[in-house]
Homo-oligomer: A and B are copies of this chain.
Amino acid sequence: MVVMANHRRVGLWLIGAFGGVGSTVAMGLAAMSRGLTSTTGLVTAGPTTSRPDFDAPADFVIGGHDIRKSCFKESALGLNERSGIFTARMIEACSPDLQAWSENVQLGTVLQSNEAITAMASSGLPTAKHPREAIDRVQADLKAFQKKHDLEQVVVVNVASTEPPFVAGPEHQSLAALQAALSRVENPVLPASGIYAYAAMDLGLAYVNFTPSFGATSPAMNELALLKKVPYAGQDGKTGETLLKTVLAPMFAARNLKVHSWIGHNILGGGDGRVLNNPENKASKVKSKDASLPAILGYKPQSLVSIEYVESLDDWKTAWDHIHFEGFLGTKMAMQFTWQGCDSILAAPLVIDLARLALFARRQGQAGVMAEVACFFKSPLGTTEQDFFRQWKMFEEYLGRAARS
């Protein structure tokens, strides 16, 4: 077809495809390519930014892994009914894409996951003796997807539930050491998130970790990225409370107001809330959320971040933050905020942004960690900058260079 000749077709491979974020990404790409919704929420479509040659919504084909047997439409209908997002009419209109894309989703791996996650898995999940075997299977799935849809590029994005913390050992200090340990059966050298990251990079595919899970955070993985010439980015999408922290803390610093304490309580329902209710998984998240203040303020105020599962909130989240600070002449004052957002709706456009950015970077031959996209992440890789506005300036300058290239 003539039209197709003018278009690259690209693949977006979602780890945890049928979750709230994955399903909203699918709804969003389908609805945008049909002109059923605006690009509101998409940073790469914002009026204030330069725009390099990004892939259009209609250029994307979605696939992915999930540990549950489901489909995008069912997941979208569930979100609509429980959380009031989308409309029944929009889901129906997007149904052809949702159904076609659901067929691209393969069963994933739960290697090294804990009970909070495996409890969600469907029966019949393939097992693997060791990471090497799991990587082989993931790579076979990725190659089949790319071939079947004749995709010029594929980007792999992790939007699965948060894993419990995984501590890197000596095997993660170099690629050689990691590769030597991949077939070890006892005490597997990689958790599920690492397996997907390795599989993607090793195939030369760009990789984005939108979760606080281990993913690609090690010298060994960085070596792999450079070797295979792939760009990668992470980690833990900055969508709500932490975004606000990194926006407000620079103001307190600029005004030389001394923050005594910053208390944040998050309540949320949905699948993400249920997994984070497990203390192990919560630990990964809280750590990621609590790191920004000292980096911005230059000292460590008393701080607390709690995350609690409140079933009735479904996919919605309310964060309450109380900031107690001292101004001139020892006077204590307070700021409080509440943030009432829908997690999937906040996260999905950023996932699409990052997919576009990583695909673009890959085409440009950029390799290794993408520090320029730090403004998207709670724990940005490749930089210690946590101040949102300094991150934003880095990003705008990057886009400007990219648009001119």
Is A329 a contact of B37 with CB atoms below 8 Å? yes
Q: Closest Cβ of chain B: how far from A34's Cβ, in Å? A: 12
Residues 292 to 350 of chain A near chain B (Cβ within 8 Å): 298, 302, 304, 306, 308, 310-313, 318, 320, 322, 324, 326-342, 345-346, 348-349
User: CB < 8 Å: which of B43, B261, B339 contacts A311?
Assistant: B261
Beta-carbon contact of B256 and A42 below 8 Å = yes
- Does A251 reach chain B (CB closer than 8 Å)? yes
Check if A324 sits within 8 Å of B310, measured CB to CB.
Answer: yes
Task: Judge whether B261 and A310 touch: CB under 8 Å.
Answer: yes
- Residue A375 at the B interface, CB < 8 A? yes
Contacts of A247 in B (CB 8 A): 247-248, 250-251
Task: Report the minimal beta-carbon distance from A282 to chain B, rounded to whole angstroms.
Answer: 14
Q: How far is the CA of A31 from the CA of B329 in the complex (A)?
A: 8
Contacts of A327 in B (CB 8 A): 40-41, 341-342, 345-346, 349
A254 interface residue per 8 A CB criterion: yes
- Give the distance to chain B from A39, nearest Cβ to Cβ, in Å: 7
Let me know if A137 is at the binding interface, CB within 8 A.
no
Digit string of A20-59 for contact with B (CB within 8 Å is 1, else 0)?
0000100110010000011111110111100000000000
Is A404 an interface residue when CB atoms closer than 8 A count as contact?
no
CB of A16 to closest CB in B, whole Å: 18
Separation of A329 and B342 alpha carbons in the complex (Å): 11
Q: Using CB atoms, name the residue of chain B closest to A304.
A: B308
**Given A256-B42, A263-B267, A310-B263; A340-B334 close (CB under 8 Å):** yes
B331 touches A257 (CB 8 A): no
Copies in the complex: 4
B320 touches A348 (CB 8 A): no
Chain A 252-281 interface mask (CB, 8 Å, partner B; 1/0): 011111101101010100000000000000
Q: Is A176 among interface residues, defined by CB-CB distance under 8 A?
A: no
* A87 contacts chain B at the CB level, 8 A cutoff: yes
CB-CB under 8 A for A392 and B254, given A28-B328, A312-B332, A329-B37: yes
**Residues on the B chain within 8 Å of A302, using CB:** 310-312
Asked if A81 is at the interface of the complex by the 8 Å CB criterion, the answer is yes
A318 touches B322 (CB 8 A): yes
Interface CB pairs A-B, < 8 A, 9: A41-B329, A45-B256, A247-B247, A247-B251, A260-B312, A267-B322, A320-B336, A333-B340, A333-B346
Residues of A that sit less than 8 Å from B by CB: 24, 27-28, 31, 37-43, 45-48, 81, 84-90, 243-244, 247-248, 250-251, 253-258, 260-261, 263, 265, 267, 298, 302, 304, 306, 308, 310-313, 318, 320, 322, 324, 326-342, 345-346, 348-349, 375, 388-389, 392-393
